[in-house]
């Protein structure tokens, strides 16, 4: 189920990169829902990073900030280090969004 959730998340990010924001948001919401149901905070954080990226491409600054804050909170919850999957994703998206 984790793989399915993350796959939906990455597919959502791909839609955002292609400027298909409705599809991106749908996939990202489904991904987050699946992973949250599993109580997988680290994976939810990764999806929140992908949501921040999608909202950045859509030009939604407030939504970008909210998604980044949620990702950072998830990273703190699981004590994700900077070299963890979540830590690396968070750094990548922070660099992208400036």
pLDDT tens-digit series, residues 4-32: 999 999 999 999 999 999 999 999 999 99
94's tokens:
């922070």
Q: Per-residue pLDDT averaged across 35-39, rounded?
A: 95
- What's the first-to-final CA gap in the chain, in angstroms? 32
Secondary structure (3-state) at 18: coil
Q: Per-residue pLDDT averaged across 41-49, rounded?
A: 97
pLDDT at 54 over 90: yes
Q: Identify the pLDDT of residue 1.
A: 84
Nearest partner of 24 among 15, 34, 36, 33, judged by Cα:
15
CA–CA dist 32, 47 (Å, integer): 6
Q: Are 12 and 31 contacting, i.e. CB atoms less than 8 angstroms apart? A: yes
Q: Are 55 and 64 contacting, i.e. CB atoms less than 8 angstroms apart? A: yes
CA–CA dist 31, 44 (Å, integer): 8
Question: What share of the chain in percent tops pLDDT 70?
Answer: 100
pLDDT at 78 over 90: yes
Q: Identify the pLDDT of residue 45.
A: 98
């Amino acid at each position: 189920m984790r793989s399915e959730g993350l796959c939906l998340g990455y597919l959502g990010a791909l839609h955002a990169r292609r400027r298909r924001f409705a599809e991106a948001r749908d996939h990202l919401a489904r991904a987050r829902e699946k992973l949250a149901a599993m109580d997988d905070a680290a994976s939810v954080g990764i999806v929140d990073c992908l949501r921040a990226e999608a909202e950045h491409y859509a030009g939604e600054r407030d939504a970008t900030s909210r998604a980044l804050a949620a990702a950072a909170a998830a990273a703190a919850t699981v004590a994700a280090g900077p070299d963890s999957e979540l830590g690396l994703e968070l750094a990548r998206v922070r660099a992208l969004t400036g």
